[in-house]
């Protein structure tokens, strides 16, 4: 049995790599790979593309363009689910990915948890997620002063319009103070829960939790060309980009199903 497929996506996990195809066909052939000029020394080998393309018609009497697209609705939905989760939740480039030239919150829109309280307030889980405010707090969380209501039509005793900023409705100047996400529970969730059912005869359950922690790294050597030219030299300059390294976390633990409170435990 021989199968020919085209890889559509590569899903990287901690303990395996899954390959998903968009074109695939298996067939029986009396030919063996060595008879059509293909040879390899292991289960996974890299072949010259021209040799591979010339050998396929000899093996299955079809060209690569004739290999059909996979027409399985359940499989296509699975591919769509993986694509959406990678784009919104991540990690799109594997458990040890690097996010370059953008913040993690801009790359992924869901799945973000903030520490419930800061380390100084007694949090024994650490607070590395808010080490650098410029990379953690979104711009739209900046506190801005509300403008005072306009006073159109209001005149002073002398008949002139008031000229102070407050009277003109400009309000107080904007402030650059930022909200500390670790202290504002209405903006970023700090925990989540799950409800589920088990068989009444079950005596214990195994819980597995996986997540990632992103840390800013500096010694990476990744640069980009600044679009705006240097004002002094008049030339474009290379600047170092911000890079975040994902550190995989998580693990498994067994919980006994018995009456009483559950002690606080961590899978990692």
Q: Which of 239, 245, 191, 192 is nearest to 217 (CA)?
A: 245
Asked whether the beta carbons of 41 and 55 are under 8 A apart, the reply is no
- Any residues with CB less than 8 A from the CB of 122 and at least 6 apart, and which? none
Dist CA 63 CA 57 (whole Å): 5
pLDDT value, residue 73: 95
- Any residues with CB less than 8 A from the CB of 168 and at least 6 apart, and which? 150, 151, 162
Predicted model pTM:
0.62
Dist CA 242 CA 244 (whole Å): 7
pLDDT tens digits in sequence order for the chain, 268 residues long: 788 999 999 988 888 999 999 999 988 766 666 677 777 666 778 888 898 888 888 888 888 899 999 999 999 999 999 999 999 999 999 999 999 999 898 999 998 887 766 544 444 433 444 444 344 444 444 444 455 555 555 555 555 555 554 444 454 555 555 556 555 545 577 788 889 999 999 999 999 999 999 999 988 888 877 766 666 666 777 888 899 999 999 999 999 999 899 888 889 9
Query: Do β-strands 223-225 and 238-240 pair in parallel, antiparallel, or remain unpaired?
Result: antiparallel
pLDDT value, residue 114: 79
Q: Six-digit token pair at 112? A: 């973000």
pLDDT value, residue 136: 44
Query: Do β-strands 17-27 and 223-225 pair in parallel, antiparallel, or remain unpaired?
Result: unpaired
Q: Six-digit token pair at 162? A: 């008031």
Please give the order of strands across the beta sheet that includes 243-256: 98-100, 243-256, 204-217
DSSP code at position 146: P
Residue 198 half-sphere exposure, CB side, CA atoms within 13 Å? Answer: 13
Asked whether the beta carbons of 124 and 188 are under 8 A apart, the reply is no
Whether omega before 258 lies within 30 degrees of 0, making that bond cis, reads no
pLDDT value, residue 194: 86
Asked whether the beta carbons of 255 and 205 are under 8 A apart, the reply is yes
pLDDT value, residue 112: 87
């Amino acid at each position: 049995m021989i199968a020919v497929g085209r890889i559509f996506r590569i899903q990287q996990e901690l303990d395996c790599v899954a390959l998903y195809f968009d074109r695939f066909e298996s067939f029986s052939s009396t030919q063996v790979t060595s008879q059509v000029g293909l040879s390899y020394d292991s289960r996974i080998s890299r072949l010259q593309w021209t040799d591979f393309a010339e050998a396929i018609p000899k093996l299955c009497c079809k060209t690569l363009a004739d290999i059909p697209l996979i027409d399985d609705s359940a499989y296509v939905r699975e591919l769509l689910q993986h694509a959406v989760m990678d784009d919104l939740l991540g990690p799109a480039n594997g458990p040890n990915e690097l996010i370059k030239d953008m913040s993690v919150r801009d790359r992924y829109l869901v799945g973000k948890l903030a520490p419930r309280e800061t380390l100084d307030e007694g949090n024994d889980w650490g607070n590395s997620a808010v080490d650098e405010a410029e990379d953690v707090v979104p711009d739209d969380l900046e506190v801005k002063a509300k403008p005072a209501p306009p006073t159109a039509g209001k005149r002073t005793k002398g008949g002139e319009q008031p000229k102070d900023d407050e009277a003109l409705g400009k309000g107080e100047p904007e402030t650059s103070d930022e909200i500390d996400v670790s202290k504002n529970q209405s903006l970023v969730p700090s925990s989540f829960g799950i409800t589920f059912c088990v068989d009444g005869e079950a005596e214990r359950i195994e819980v597995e939790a996986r997540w990632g922690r992103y840390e800013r790294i500096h010694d990476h050597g990744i640069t980009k060309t600044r679009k705006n030219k240097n004002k002094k030299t008049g030339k474009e300059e290379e600047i170092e980009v911000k890079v975040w390294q994902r550190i995989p976390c998580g693990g498994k633990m067994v919980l006994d199903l018995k009456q009483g409170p559950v002690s606080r435990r961590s899978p990692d």
